[in-house]
Structures are given as structure tokens and as C-alpha cells.
Structure 1
Amino acid sequence: RKTTRFKIDEHGLVAAAERDGKPAVWVSCADVERQPEEGAQVFWANPGTPLKTVMLAMHRSQTAPVALFDEGSRFVGAIGIRDVLSAVLRR
């Protein structure tokens, strides 16, 4: 797994992202299938993003967690491997 870090500004918005110490490209999970598999991408999701889409983003980018943003584009949390496994086991 790759290490992902977020820089959050004073308004709770993500100002920058990096992956393994290098700048990364922000990409919505909704666009995961249209993205090339190589490159330093960091995926983000909104509440209601399907679990399957989040799992595909984690797999494609080899990163976890996936950042979670509210409707106002504020960072509210992250969806990690444990969250995904818990959701799958509950089904």
C-alpha cells in the first residue's frame, strides 16, 4: 500500500494531496473507470458512493483510505480497508 497524506486548509477543504511524499492528482471515485491505472492518483468519495466503486478506487490506486467529503466539499473522514471489510461482512 502507498501512503496518502492530505493538507487541510482552515475551512476544512483539502488544499493538496500527496502519495509517498510526491504530489498526487485528486480524482473522484465516480471517474475511477475512466482513469489510467498508472500514475499518482488519490481518490475521494461523497456519502452515497457505492462500496463497489470505493473498492475499485482502492484497488486501482493501491491506496487506502479513500477520502470522504460532504456536499460542501469539506473533508469529513475516510473509508479504509477495515470499513470496507466490515461492510462486506455485514451483507
Structure 2
Amino acid sequence: FKIDEHGLVAAAERDGKPAVWVSCADVERQPEEGSQVFWANPGTPLKTVMLAMHRSQTAPVALFDEGSRFVGAIGIRDVLSAVLRR
């Protein structure tokens, strides 16, 4: 993803092509085909993040705070660690 001068996402791409920037909260409303890049907020359910990774066939999922600032990413290892802790 590309960050603008205000620290917000201006554009996203996948495999060098423009992609649709989508919240994990909207993952079930997105078509299964297509080029989406998903993002999450703290508190997004793990199941939702996992579905986004599966639908987009990409990981990690970008993590943004309530002010839309990039704060990290949730990768496969993070998901597996969380599942194993349950």
C-alpha cells in the first residue's frame, strides 16, 4: 500500500497491479475473485482476519489504529500462535 503525506492509505496494489483496499469487516460482502487487499483494526475478530487472508490468498493483513495510522501487520505466524493459545 502507498501512504500519503497525512499517513493515510492513498492506494493499494497486489502483484504490481492496482487493488481494492477493503476492511476485513467487509470481507463477506466482497466477491471471491478479484484483487483485494484487506486491512484490520485492533479488535477485529481473528476469524474475520483468517477469512480475509483466505479470500485474498495473501498475508499479512495490515493493521491500522482508530486514527487510520498503520501500526503493524497480522501474519500467518500470528494467526497460528493465537489459535494454538486457545
Alignment TM class, shorter chain as reference: over 0.9
CA positional deviation for 1:16: 1.3
Alpha-carbon distance in structure 1 between the residues aligned to 2:47 and 2:73: 15
Runs of 4+ in 1 over 4 A off after TM superposition: none
Report SS of the residue matched to 1:49.
Answer: coil
Give the total of aligned pairs. 86
Q: Deviations over 1:10-44 (max 9, x none)?
A: 33222211100001001111111111000000011
Alpha-carbon distance in structure 2 between the residues aligned to 1:86 and 1:57: 17
Alpha-carbon distance in structure 2 between the residues aligned to 1:87 and 1:8: 29
> Gaps spanning 5+ residues in structure 1: where?
1-5
Q: Deviations over 1:50-79 (max 9, x none)?
A: 000000000001011111110001111110
| TM-score, L = length of structure 1 | 0.90
Q: Which residue of 2 aligns with 1:3?
A: none
* CA RMSD of superposed structures (Å): 0.9
| TM-score, L = length of structure 2 | 0.95
State, as a whole percentage, how many aligned pairs show the same letter: 99
